[in-house]
Structure 1
Amino acid sequence: MTKIFKIIIFIYLTVFFSSAVLSKENFFDEALKMYQSENYDDARFMFERNIVFNPKDAQSYLYLAKIYNFEKNQRKEENNLETALLIEPDNEEVLLMLMKIALEKSNYSKVKNLSQTFAKVCEKLCDENNQIQESLKNIEPKNES
């Protein structure tokens, strides 16, 4: 009896964890399809659901930030970007989005710090960092001594 019970428990746990792993992938994939078809409300729900099962998925936080950017909710956008950056500090898209927010808020020191990190990790979006640096030169007050 005990051996049969252990086998049943083992089978149950194997099926449960296998379906949990598959559902994580399906939540993100499904959310991404919804996002790409501009179904942002449902995509947000699915990305959030994916985070419940996979709280260290930086891509889900990034896409939530993109949705909040579209909805003009900068506070939630920035919160999701900060979380994504904690999980994946070398994500150039996250760094770039945070630099743009810092520019809008006139937080030039934050832009400089993010830009230094960005310069070390950029592969695809390096030109955008150069544009931000050029705009900083035009905006920052000059130290006249």
Structure 2
Amino acid sequence: MSKIIKTLSAVFTLLALVSFSYADENYYDQAIKEFDKKEYDEARFLLERNIVFNPKDAKSYLYLAKIFKEKENKKEEEKNLNTTLLLDPSNEDATLRLMDIAVENSNYSEVKELSEKFVKICKSLCKENERILESLKDLEPKNDS
């Protein structure tokens, strides 16, 4: 009888772990679907829930940043982009978005610094660096001291 109880306990534990793992993926996947439908509040809720189960999921923070960009909340957008880069330093999308913010803020030195980093990590968005550097021509190096 004791072996049966131990076996059942192990089976229930395994099932709980599988369903817990599936819930993580389901939250993220569902959040992306909601994001694509422009249901940003629902997507945000699901991404934050996903982060509770998987706090090191850089993709969730990146999508939160995209949501905050849509909601025009630069502070939260930038915070989530920085968290994305903390977890995934080679995330070219987050680096590119931070470069755009630095251009908007006319922060010449930060754009240059991010651009140098971006060149080293870019894989699919490399041409975007040219666009950013072109926009630098209109900026004076105000913060370059």
| TM-score exceeds 0.5 | yes
| 1:12 matched residue in structure 2 | 12
Q: Structure 2 matches for 1:11-50, cutoff 5 A?
A: 11-50=11-50
The residue correspondences of 1:123-142 to structure 2 (distance < 5 A) are 123-141=123-141
CA distances 1:15-51 after superposition (whole Å, capped 9, x unpaired): 1100011111111110100000111110110111111
Q: Provide the aligned C-alpha RMSD in A.
A: 1.5
Structure 1 equivalent of residue 119 of structure 2: 119
Deviation at 1:3, TM superposition (A): 2.8
State the Cα deviation string for residues 85-118 of structure 1 (Å, max 9, x = none). Answer: 1111111111000111122222222211111111
Distance 1:54 1:113 in 2: 30
Which structure 1 segments of 5+ residues have no match?
none
Q: Is the 8 A contact 2:51 2:60 kept in 1?
A: yes
Check whether the contact 2:108–2:141 (CA below 8 A) recurs between aligned residues.
no
The normalised TM-score by structure 2 is: 0.91
1:140: how far off? 2.2
CA distance, structure 1, for counterparts of residue 9 and residue 99 of structure 2: 51
* One-letter amino acid matched to 1:5: I
**How much has 1:125 moved relative to structure 2?**
1.6
Counterpart for residue 83 of structure 1: 83
Percent identity of the aligned residues? 52
Q: Which range moves more in the overlay, 90-99 or 105-114?
A: 105-114
Aligned length, in residue pairs: 142
TM-score (norm 1): 0.91
Q: Which amino acid aligns with 1:14?
A: L
